[in-house]
Structure 1
Amino acid sequence: MRGSVTVLDAGGHLLGFRRDDAAVLISGETSTRKAYTALQLDTPTADLVELVRPDGLFHTLPTALDRPLLFLAGGVPLHRDGRLIGAIGFGGGAPEQDHRIVTAAIAEADLA
């Protein structure tokens, strides 16, 4: 999968970013926003998609902040010993593919 990956610490600071040379340019932005959204709401972005539909609880939230959130699958918060330590986001594929890539990476790194 050609794409971008972003890793943030618990404060939302960039720890790591990598974009494949052949990835679409926007994948860098989407991976970062997905990680930021997962971090801010401490929830995988795949679980938040329904909340921004027109009748959803967070319908206006994605654009109400200085740094917009992105409610597409592919962002997952990271926990260690029950504590939020950061988040990872991937962009470049279909949202479901991005989510699978992130969850596989988390499992491989033993952060699940």
Structure 2
Amino acid sequence: MDTLKVDVFMDLYGHYFLEKDIRSVRLMLNAAHNDLYPMLFSIDFKAPGKVLFLSLFLGVCGIDRFYIGDTSMGIFKLLTGGGFGIVLFIDWFTISKVTRERNYDKFLACLY
């Protein structure tokens, strides 16, 4: 993929990944074929800030976990009132990282 396309992708979506993954994303984009470019823009990356907002206000119902595609944890939080408040509290500090990890997994799935 040419450098301009890589730069555009990273400008638009770089903040959806963990800092440690940025370099590998850039390297994989440089090695990717140009035909993948439209498919990469169709990936439904989740904004970590939006997920944190959902976690703060609707996390007790598991909406944050359902939104990022973690259905089993969403059901658990729904049935137990946010994991009896414990999982809810932990998610307030970890959900942004989990969201970025899921975004990276979606990116990798698109490439392979």
Per the normalisation by structure 2, the TM-score is: 0.30
Which structure has greater helix proportion?
2
Structure whose alpha-carbon radius of gyration is higher: 2
More strand by share: 1
